[in-house]
Amino acid sequence: SQQGEEDPQALSIQEGENATMNCSYKTSINNLQWYRQNSGRGLVHLILIRSNEREKHSGRLRVTLDTSKKSSSLLITASRAADTASYFCATDKGVDMRFGAGTRLTVKP
Amino acid sequence: EAQVTQNPRYLITVTGKKLTVTCSQNMNHEYMSWYRQDPGLGLRQIYYSMNVEVTDKGDVPEGYKVSRKEKRNFPLILESPSPNQTSLYFCASSPGQVRETQYFGPGTRLLVL
């Protein structure tokens, strides 16, 4: 069964704007990760945040985690056309990993 | 180059004809996993393996088999494919026992007629 659910399902913005995607999950977790997928290709790991962390940065990416609300957000600042992709959150509680259905981000030049 | 490879990349087959999708990683990772991706459903885990000779079911194991005889290889076997197994399949690996960063293969697009 799906654990994470991303919101919105699709997001369209202009280049230079910020993009925020949200992920909600149902059960307690060890880690939450965000992945990116260009159309039909393999997923690429972006960032991992542990359950005892609240915020993490990597370049133009900022991830927050609120375990009390069972939710996470991914912020991409100063977006570029090359950021156009699908973004997935994935949660794990030990050995198996659960992915959400993803947010499709389109950045218009 | 560190990578996960899958073969074939594209496959069209008929119902009931056994097939194997190979997965190989050259990073000496202990953990390997298979996922299928369907529109609107995201990725769902089929099977995973913590190490050689250790495999376990994921969320959607029905109709699939796996084996892990060597650390680098984790083939996915469809003994009798059916049209509902038409999907995009990804193999992934990660180091250690904890589900840290997963490295994904390029995907295998399977069509079962």
State residue B1's pLDDT score.
83
> Tens digit of pLDDT for each residue in B6-53?
999 999 999 999 999 999 999 999 999 999 999 888 899 999 999 999
Query: ω into residue B39 within 30 of 0, thus cis?
Result: no
Predicted local distance difference test score (pLDDT) of residue B4: 96
> Which pLDDT score, from 0 to 100, does residue B99 have?
65
Tell me the CA distances in angstroms from B6 to A29, B19, B99, B110, one per residue in order: 30, 14, 21, 12
Query: What digits encode the pLDDT tens for the residues A40-84?
Result: 788 999 999 999 999 999 999 999 999 999 999 999 999 999 999
Instruction: Tell if the CB–CB gap between B42 and A30 is shorter than 8 Å.
Output: no
Q: Which of residues 21-50 of A touch B (CB under 8 A)?
A: 30-31, 33, 35, 40-45, 48
Residue count (chain A):
109
Q: Could you tell me what percent of chain A has a pLDDT over 90?
A: 74
Q: What are the tens digits of pLDDT across the range B50-67?
A: 999 999 999 899 999 999
Share of chain A above pLDDT 70, in %: 95
- Confidence band for A3, pLDDT divided at 50, 70 and 90: low
Q: What count of CB pairs under 8 Å joins A to B?
A: 66
Contact check, Cβ <8 Å, A98/B102: no
The Cα B2–Cα A5 span in angstroms is 31
Residue A100 has pLDDT above 90, yes or no: no
With beta carbons under 8 A apart, name residues in chain A contacting B90.
42-43
Q: How many residues does chain B have?
A: 113
Which residue from A29, A60, A31, A33 is spatially nearest to A45, judged by alpha carbons? A33
Given an 8 Å threshold on Cβ–Cβ distance, is B99 in contact with A97? yes
- Best of A43, A63, A91 to mutate (most B CBs within 10 Å, chain B): A43
Residue in A with minimal Cα distance to B87: A40
Nearest CA among B21, B4, B30, B14 for reference residue B88: B21
